A and B are shown apart, each in its own frame.
Chain A
Amino acid sequence: MNGARAFYRRNERLILGLAMIALFLIFWEGLSRGWWADLLRPLIRSSADKLKIKHIFVSSPTAVAVAAWRLYVVTGEIWPHLAISGLELVAGLGSAILVGIPLGLATGRYRLLSYAVEPFMAALNATPQVAFLPLIILWMGTGYGTRVFIIFLLTIIPIFISAFAAVRTVDARLLKVAASFGASEGFLFRSVVAPGSVPFLLAGLRLAIGRAMIGIVVGELYGSAIGLGLMINRAGSTFQTDTVFVGVMTIIFAGMALTELVSRIETRVEIWRPNARDAVQ
């Protein structure tokens, strides 16, 4: 008995967490199968019928699992959607990195440039960028370009800001020493600025991934012919709630995996500059 208690003490976090998840799943399953309605009928009589919720409204964990099996394994129809969404993410995020990092570094280094760029970045940052979506569709149609562009708009902000912050927090003494020894701008950049900025850029990337997921979902919900967001949207409008949940779960796992990946790399290089995380947020 004591052994069991000690085991519980050691793994309290895991046990309580899993227990709550299990309870939640049972509650959900019961909701769609009418367990709770049947259970409470003697107590609340006819109003128990209100607890009988139509399956299309809530689906159930087992139905979602079955749908996931069907979509991933039997028909495999989710893979093309997944591949397209992944490509859009890579292209949008990649172009944001290609533009955002140089722009952020240059803006951080040259004061006058920062004056010129800042108003635009502040405005873009304050706007929920997805509001541009109808406009982008007008310009580029409903093809991949639209999604890549909206992901670009969403992700360039955190990447730009992190690159900007990286340059601004470089130790001024280091710059002064290097400059007084006659280091060229290029050398200064390679040997002082670039190494110090890596942790910042990773912190920015972590934020950008979260925003890229927003871009994928919204871009595809709003106007698209393929992709995870479209799958969710189509399933939603045809009341296939289980398929909607499969899509949502897929996005949850993808988001967690990508964020975890960047966090891992981050903790690895964290030693280089301990407060990069705070400065970007």
Chain B
Amino acid sequence: MRPSVEKAIISGGSLALFLGIWEYSCGRLVDPMFLSSPSRVVAAGVDLVRTGEIWPDVLVSANEFIWGYLAAVAVAIPLGLFIGWNRRAQYMVQPFIDVMNAVPRITFLPILVIWFGIGIWSKLAVVFLGAVIPVTIAAYSGVKTNEARFLRVARSFGASGFKIFTSIILPGTVPFIFTGLKYGAGRALLGVVVGELYASTAGVGHMIAEAGNTLQTDVVFVGVLIFTVTGLVINGLLDRIEKRFERWRPAGARQ
């Protein structure tokens, strides 16, 4: 048997077994209120889509994720490149980045809610904070690991600072930035979930929290599943882009 076939059979089999046990035990061994079951979750999902009840929540969460993440990327990449390039700027900014990196940024949520209210702005802020740190660190360490040989060659041929930056530093940094973007996306998604669980008026996280409070376990699972699929899609997408640019990584820093 070919390994890929074997893998598909065993992976699929273990998933099917898991779903089967879950389906069987619901109502027989465990109260459906606690565990729900795959069929109920699917039914609830279909129902939410058919009535269109789910779209406003999905839209709110998508907006929070996309705009918070884009804002973080728009700030983090120039900032990371700059502090990687300019030693003094790095000395000035580094302590703040280190501190922010040491704490889960969602810890600031209560303060952000005081500042921005429980609407979309506090979520945008927490998504922004979550993603901005890993992307900045990635861009900055990308600049730092550029090969000194190239720089020396470029300098000795009289390349200007701008030329060195665009033709050596920037290309060498791209793979690092994509790695950072992947981490950042995970953090951003976490920000959406926690922000909405904590205090919100709409969003998939809000839907999960409300369904949990009203014991609609199937709806909770639908919400969790939405996040799982989103995470898988984003991860897969960025993984693929990351691999595509892997060749650009300077030889000394290949993993």
Contacts and interface: CB of A to CB of B under 8 A. Distances in A.
Contact of A217 (B106, B224, B228, B235): B106
Nearest to B204: A131
Of listed A16, A237, A259, residue having the most chain B CB within 10 A: A16
Nearest to A127: B228
A259 B10 CA distance: 38
Given A123-B232, A235-B110, A131 B11 contact: no
Contacts of A274: none
Nearest to B13: A116
A120 interface: yes
B245 interface: no
Of listed A24, A118, A130, residue having the most chain B CB within 10 A: A130
- In the complex, the 4 A-B pairs of residues with the closest C-beta atoms, listed nearest first: A134-B212, A236-B110, A126-B231, A115-B10
Interface residues of B, number: 56
A138 B213 CA distance: 8
Interface in B160-211: 186, 189-190, 192-194, 197-198, 205, 208-209, 211
A130 B193 contact: yes
Contacts of B99: 252, 256
B235 A214 contact: no
Contact of A13 (B18, B91, B111, B192): B91
25 contacts: A16-B92, A17-B91, A17-B92, A17-B95, A19-B92, A20-B93, A20-B95, A21-B95, A115-B11, A115-B14, A116-B10, A125-B235, A127-B227, A128-B227, A131-B205, A131-B224, A133-B212, A135-B220, A210-B104, A213-B104, A218-B106, A221-B194, A232-B107, A248-B111, A255-B102
A248 B18 CA distance: 40
Nearest to A113: B10
A120 B15 CA distance: 8
Interface string B9-50: 011011100100000000000000010000000000000000
B88 interface: yes
Contacts of A128: 186, 189-190, 192-194, 227, 231
A244 B108 CA distance: 8
Contact of A131 (B111, B208, B213, B217): B208
A143 B220 CA distance: 20
A255 B7 contact: no
Given A115-B10, A115-B11, A244-B110, A134 B102 contact: no
A99 B40 CA distance: 30
A127 B234 CA distance: 11
B114 A127 contact: no
Given A13-B91, A112-B10, A278 B255 contact: yes
Main secondary structure of the interface of B (DSSP, over half): helix
A278 B141 CA distance: 14
B197 A241 contact: no
Contacts of A229: 107
Contacts of B193: 128, 130-131
A182 interface: no
Interface of B: 6-7, 10-11, 13-15, 18, 34, 88, 91-96, 98-99, 102-104, 106-111, 113-115, 186, 189-190, 192-194, 197-198, 205, 208-209, 211-213, 215, 217, 220-221, 223-224, 227-228, 231-232, 235, 255
Contacts of B194: 128, 130, 218, 221
A127 B208 contact: no
A217 B107 contact: yes
Given A16-B92, A126-B228, A221-B198, A239 B114 contact: yes
A12 B91 contact: yes
B143 to A, nearest CB: 17
A205 to B, nearest CB: 16
Interface of A: 12-13, 16-17, 19-21, 24, 56-57, 112, 115-120, 122-123, 125-128, 130-135, 137-139, 210, 213-214, 217-218, 221-222, 229, 232-233, 235-237, 239, 241, 244-245, 247-248, 251-252, 255-256, 259, 275, 278-279
Contact of B11 (A21, A57, A118, A279): A118
Contacts of A17: 91-92, 94-95
B34 A214 contact: no
A221 B110 contact: yes
B14 to A, nearest CB: 4
Of listed B104, B109, B194, residue having the most chain A CB within 10 A: B104
Contact of B103 (A16, A57, A213): A213
A123 B14 CA distance: 13
B198 A119 contact: no
Given A21-B96, A256-B102, 18 more contacts: A12-B91, A17-B95, A115-B14, A116-B11, A116-B13, A128-B186, A128-B189, A128-B194, A128-B231, A130-B193, A130-B197, A134-B209, A135-B220, A138-B212, A214-B104, A221-B194, A235-B110, A248-B108
